[in-house]
Amino acid sequence: MTLEPIPGFRMVTMTRLIRLAMVSALASLPLASVFAAQQHPAMPAGMTHEEHMAQMKKDAEMKQHGQMAMGFDQDKARHHFTLTANGGTIGVSANDAADRATRDQIRSHLGEITHAFAQGDFEKPLMTHSEMPPGAATMQRLKMAITYAFEATERGGVVRIVTLNPDARDAIHDFLRYQIKEHATGDSLSVQK
């Protein structure tokens, strides 16, 4: 079977039709979303492309595992970790003040880990990070020397971790420093006064 050209119409190849369809589809999107779909976080200095790709994969997996372990979308909330002289804090807040669903999910999660950590159960951090965070084994062993208290905040909540035991305090600090690095919060790695 041969296709005869239609008088007055130009022959268009299939490749050209596909290109036209793609241009048409892209033209209907807001310009920012076209560029956002093509970009990913900048590669840190001193990191190879392969290391950067592996880090991005690890970050995506942590977000997915975190959502399963914590019960809320990781992109809708912000984590903060603070090291104090007698322990530290774990804080999570919804990005949007009007997002009550995320706020309530955060509060539920923080209430659960307050109880679990007091029992020496660090399953949720293990599930989120696919490894046991540094300090967790010592926190399990010294669980009777550590107190955990949950406090609701406007957009989520805070878990206060307190101890008088120097070994437990060092373990808490190791645990929180790991969280700061893994969640890339930008929080200080030093003890706050």
How many CB atoms are closer than 10 A to CB 125?
21
Q: What is the pLDDT of residue 34?
A: 43
Output the pTM of the full model.
0.67
pLDDT tens track for 97-106: 999 999 999 9
At 78 the pLDDT is 94
Residue 35 has pLDDT above 50, yes or no: no
- The confidence score (pLDDT) of residue 126 equals 76
